[in-house]
Amino acid sequence: EPEVTQTPSHQVTQMGQEVILRCVPISNHLYFYWYRQILGQKVEFLVSFYNNEISEKSEIFDDQFSVERPDGSNFTLKIRSTKLEDSAMYFCASSDFGTGTYEQYFGPGTRLTVT
């Protein structure tokens, strides 16, 4: 069964450093997303991406965040200058169109630890 993959599984960085989280969505999917989950809290939407542009973003997704689809397979989330409060599990997801369900396929996540 096709699946979303994410790398790295765990990233430790120092406050103020830039990090890039990588995702490979399911190959024929058209919509891509990033969510995050701070330990013990809800899954929160960050951004959605379609047709090479952001289609929706939350208040969390400020100027420190950016997304990119640099080639036909990867989808990346960049945090320019990490803060302690960016420590969380970051999930990439992708979805198809016209399947009749509103199913998003989530990756296993990248645990980001900012020290």
Partner 1 sequence: LAKTTQPISMDSYEGQEVNITCSHNNIATNDYITWYQQFPSQGPRFIIQGYKTKVTNEVASLFIPADRKSSTLSLPRVSLSDTAVYYCLVGDYNAGNMLTFGGGTRLMVKP
53 lines the binding site for partner 1 (CB under 8 A): no
Decide: residue 86, CB within 10 A, 0-12 exposed, 13-18 middle, 19+ buried: buried
User: Which is nearest to 92 in space by CA: 1, 14, 5?
Assistant: 5
From 11-19, 69-77, 78-86, 104-112, give the range in contact with partner 1 by CB under 8 A. Answer: 104-112
11 lines the binding site for partner 1 (CB under 8 A): no
Rounded to whole angstroms, the Cα distance separating 86 from 71 reads 26
56 lines the binding site for partner 1 (CB under 8 A): yes
- Both tokens of 110, joined, read 């990248």
The least CB distance from residue 70 to partner 1, in Å, is: 20
Residues contributing to the site for partner 1 (CB under 8 A) = 4, 30-31, 33, 35, 42-45, 48, 50, 55-56, 58, 89, 91, 93, 95-98, 101-109, 111
